[in-house]
Amino acid sequence: LNHLRLDLPNLRHGDEIHAQVRAERGGHVIEDWSQTLIISVSRRLLVDNLSVDDNGFLPPLDFTAIILSPSSVRLEWTPNNPNIFVKILKLFSGLHYIINVKQLTSKTGEPLFQRQIKVVANNFALGNLKPGEHYEMTIRTALSPEQMSDTAAIVEITMPKDDEYFEVGNLVISSHFQSSGQGIVNLTWDVPPHIQRKIKSYDVEYKEMNDNNWQKLQFIGQIPSATLKNLKSGTEYLLKIKTTLHGDVSTESGHFKFRTPEVLMNPINKVDVIYTNEMDSVRLHWVLEPSIIAINEVFGYDVYLTEDKDLPESQWKYLYSSENSVSVNALKSGTTYYIKINVRKTDGTVVRSTVYYTDRQELPLQQWNRMDIYNADQVISSKNFYHLGHDHPQPRIVRGLGD
């Protein structure tokens, strides 16, 4: 027999095995001990197609220090990969984080501060720091003092002096989004007057709530405002503002959460009113906007008609059509009618209507006022409607488009 299988279940990543072989026959040594064979153990786990050391120790991401006062900060971080981290927790009990805090400067000549902290959560408030001094914080994932991640996440921070500390306050967020979904978000906030003249720049960072990809913009100057131009409509965002003073002392705000307005796209490209030989009847025909709703997504259309625009939708005359046209009968001569067309989709959802109105006939539709209809009790309060149609005794129709 020239081979041997050893069952060593307690071996860990990074362990070493020292082995020697000696040959015997009939109780007599025929070959003395061989040279020592050193075997280094490298064990890997495959978790969600990611190969990691069997200790599973990856340093966390987004390690940040948020200043709470001239002498305290809040440290925050997220697992390197939350899904993998949860699975590793099931494999290894006692998984935690080791934070090392090191003071790098001492203007008073006092001994430098050092501290090690064990944390299970993903945040920690650290106090008793000295204003105006520079600190380095590192964080590692660990199972024991001997088993921790080989690499660490690092953040450096200079604590503000007592007269330099301030909080970003009264953040005002305003936005304007077009029907195309493109828009801008304007931010303004307050800083104390005695601080504003010391400001060198602002860094505004933002990301979608479920995304780890922070976008960063820097604004040079003292004006506490910013404009964001690449945000999506109907999306929740997380925002933070970093203020850098002359002398490179930085203060970072906490996280602000906001949601951009949802822009309802117009699924109908055009509506035609076709007059018939019968004086009390017209036929409505409309064309879908293919970039918004495909024909195979449409189950049917809900058409609403009324003489009184101020009535709630529940009191408008209702017509259903499975096609993109419908005949409207029993109309009164010389009467203005208002219509809305809702698109009923195959998944059961209904794209509600928007009524467009104006008192200036020469304006293109894009410059008309609009009224979004979200519920059956909503009424239209505007008195200035432009009536589509011709000045003859036949009925006139105000355009109401699905949106």
pLDDT tens digit string along 87-103? 555 555 667 899 999 99
pLDDT tens digit string along 134-159? 999 999 988 778 778 778 889 998 89
CB 183 within 8 A of CB 177: yes
Evaluate if residue 48 carries a pLDDT over 50.
no
Burial of residue 92 (number of CB atoms within 10 Å: 0-12, 13-18, 19+): middle
Evaluate if residue 370 carries a pLDDT over 70.
no
Task: Pull the structure tokens for residue 264.
Answer: 């309802």
SS3 15: coil
* Range(s) within the chain of domains with CATH label 2.60.40.10: 53-158, 169-259, 268-402
For the whole model, what pTM was predicted? 0.48
**What fold, for 53-158?**
Immunoglobulin-like (2.60.40)
pLDDT score at 130:
94
pLDDT score at 282:
83
Q: Which amino acid is at 254?
A: G
Instruction: Report the distance separating Cα 398 and Cα 356, nearest Å.
Output: 8
Between 31-35, 110-114, 360-364, the lowest mean confidence (pLDDT) is in 360-364
Burial of residue 176 (number of CB atoms within 10 Å: 0-12, 13-18, 19+): exposed
pLDDT score at 383:
31
Task: Pull the structure tokens for residue 297.
Answer: 């997504």
Instruction: Phi first, then psi: give them for residue 204, nearest 5 degrees.
Output: -105, 120
Of the candidate CATH numbers 3.40.250.10, 1.20.5.440, 2.40.50.840, 2.60.40.10, the domain formed by 169-259 belongs to 2.60.40.10
Evaluate if residue 108 carries a pLDDT over 70.
yes
- How many CA atoms lie less than 13 Å away from 149 in the CB half-sphere? 20
pLDDT tens digit string along 219-235? 888 889 999 988 888 88
Q: If we measure between CA atoms, which residue out of 128, 140, 176 comes closest to residue 60?
A: 140
Confidence category of residue 238, pLDDT binned at 50, 70, 90: very high
The architecture of the domain spanning 268-402 is Sandwich (2.60)
